Amino acid sequence: MRRYAIALVALLGVGLSGCDLAPVYEPPHFILPESYQGSGPFGVAHPDEALSARGDWWTLFGDEQLNQLEDQLGHANPTLQAAADAYAQARSLAAEAQSSLSPQVSASAGVSENKTSVHRLFRNPTSTAPIREASNQIGVAASWEPDFWHALRNSAHAQKRLAQASAADLETARLSLQAELASDYVTVRGLDAELEVLRQSIASYQAAAEVARLRTSGDIASGLDLARALSQLDSAQAQETETRLQRDLMQHAVAALIGAMPSTFSIAPSSEFKLTPPQLPAGVPSELLQRRPDIASAERQMAAANASIGVSRAAFYPNVTFSITGGFQDSGFNLVSLPNSLWSVGAGAVMPLFDGGLRRAQLRHSWAQYAQTRDNYRGTVLAAFQEVADGLSQTQRLATEDTQEHQASDQAAQALSISTMLYKDGLDNYLSVAVAQVQALASQLTEVQIRIRQIQAAVSLIRALGGGWTVQVLPAEKQTLQFTESDYGVPANK
């Protein structure tokens, strides 16, 4: 009968092992437009957690120093390393949850020397039984929860999916830091270009002030001309000082991103702005939007919340465990002999009968968490489309604006040349020269700033599209349990 009972329990366990109480999971599907405005057709972008690895997209800008800085960021940025540590923690939690599916086996050993009191309670005063005796024992114990309702499996699924989300979060952090570094570096180079414009303008203003000084000393012009010339010169010099300050601050920001001390880090100035916006591959909206790691993270969090509903549902059913212990015990060291053996086999089931609504509250909480992750996922997808649309508009409009501002700058430079010539010939006063100087300098600086915004808009668009043209697969659920050197920068010993 005992054998039949054990066989019946085993068959029951096999039959109930397929009772997965988690809802059937399907990510939501969105009805999306067929094309961006003015950008051509693109495909429906469903979140794809298998698309996450990033290529060296910054090499498209053709700047060797930027390439070196980005490489240093990948190895030394503390924020990125913290994100990698968070991923390692998520993998550890997944491994912990997975371990609960296996039988838990332990071994024990003990040696003791024991003495009881002669006057202990209920001891016969005339007893000749010994009051001192040794006790030596060895044994093993095992327990197993058959997981009839998939509570443990769904808990493991949830943790492994959260580990996948953490891997995507790591890629999001990497892409964000890379884009921030590229944008800051572009700003530094743009400030170098502004400083070059200011240096040329200051040299021109000094020459104009000298002309005004000569004309004033020769009583050809009033002191007002000289005052205006010196005012323009001083203003340009102050603007140059402010620009140098802004460059110092941006250089410090770059140093912090690459993990260097700002006091010892410097970027050599460059008098020429060589950066140009790259030509992005055609069809990126249909392909690269799927590769955004934040969308993959939001989808994996939603999948994890779906599995957690199954855990909450399983709480309404009995929790069954099997256990077995065995070993040897002896007052001496003759342990391994059949008369000294001991064993115990048992099974138990626990089911709460009254909890004041605790399990129903936990189930409602799980459903609310799933609804929250679903709404977060939808918001992430919408934000992604907005960022891509913004990037496309910026790159297109700024290209037109750059052409227009270049023409305005040429006209302003021509007006300054004419005004200066007329002033030298005594045909006009210095007010016209001063006005022309202000317009010319403003146009040149605006032209540089538009070019900076063009490059930064390209960086933002690449970031919005997922950054990078090669694809690496996020770890599958089983791969989150493998603690080996990985593409995510997490050492195996962490």
Q: Is residue 28 part of a domain?
A: yes
Q: Between residues 135 and 332, which one has the greater pLDDT? A: 135
Decide the pairing of beta strands 104-115 and 132-144: antiparallel
**For the residues 242-258, what does the mean pLDDT come to?**
96
Give residue 33's pLDDT: 58
Q: Between residues 320 and 385, which one has the greater pLDDT? A: 320
Q: Is residue 255 part of a domain?
A: yes
Q: Is residue 113 part of a domain?
A: no
Q: How confident is the model at residue 328 (pLDDT cuts 50, 70, 90)?
A: confident
DSSP state string for 386-398 = HHHHHHHHHHHHH
Select, from the ranges 56-65, 214-223, 246-255, the one with the highest average predicted confidence (pLDDT): 246-255
Supply the CATH number for residue 94's domain: 1.20.1600.10
Q: Is residue 283 part of a domain?
A: yes
What DSSP state is assigned to residue 481?
G
User: Distance between CA 116 and CA 94 in Å, rounded?
Assistant: 49
Are 436 and 414 within 8 A, CB to CB?
no
Q: Is residue 492 part of a domain?
A: no
Say if residue 350's pLDDT is above 60.
yes
Q: Is residue 50 part of a domain?
A: yes
Which pLDDT tens digit goes with each residue over 380-404? Answer: 888 888 888 888 888 889 988 989 9
Closest CA to 362 of 151, 100, 157: 151
Tell me which of 152-156, 309-313, 430-434 is least confident: 430-434
Q: Which phi and psi (to 5°) does residue 128 adopt?
A: -105, 10
User: Distance between CA 99 and CA 322 in Å, rounded?
Assistant: 16
Please work out, in degrees rounded to the nearest 5, the angle formed at the alpha carbon of residue 206 by the alpha carbons of 200 and 212: 140
Which pLDDT tens digit goes with each residue over 297-308? Answer: 998 999 999 999
Percent of the chain with pLDDT over 70: 85
DSSP state string for 220-280 = SS-HHHHHHHHHHHHHHHHHHHHHHHHHHHHHHHHHHHTT--TTT------SS-------P
State which residues form the domain around 94.
18-103+150-317+359-481
Say if residue 53's pLDDT is above 70.
no
Give residue 49's pLDDT: 36
**227, amino acid identity:** A
pTM (two decimals) = 0.82
User: Distance between CA 467 and CA 83 in Å, rounded?
Assistant: 18
User: Distance between CA 70 and CA 64 in Å, rounded?
Assistant: 10
Q: How confident is the model at residue 191 (pLDDT cuts 50, 70, 90)?
A: very high
| Structural domains in the chain (count) | 1
For residue 32, with 0-12 CB atoms within 10 Å meaning exposed, 13-18 middle and 19 or more buried, which class applies? Answer: middle
Q: Between residues 50 and 34, which one has the greater pLDDT? A: 34
Q: How confident is the model at residue 367 (pLDDT cuts 50, 70, 90)?
A: very high
What is the 3 state secondary structure string of 246-262? Answer: HHHHHHHHHHHHCCCCC
Which pLDDT tens digit goes with each residue over 57-77? Answer: 898 898 999 999 999 999 999
Q: Is residue 375 part of a domain?
A: yes
Say if residue 230's pLDDT is above 80.
yes
Q: Is residue 30 part of a domain?
A: yes
Give residue 36's pLDDT: 55
**For the residues 26-43, what does the mean pLDDT come to?**
57
Give residue 487's pLDDT: 45
User: Distance between CA 254 and CA 57 in Å, rounded?
Assistant: 18
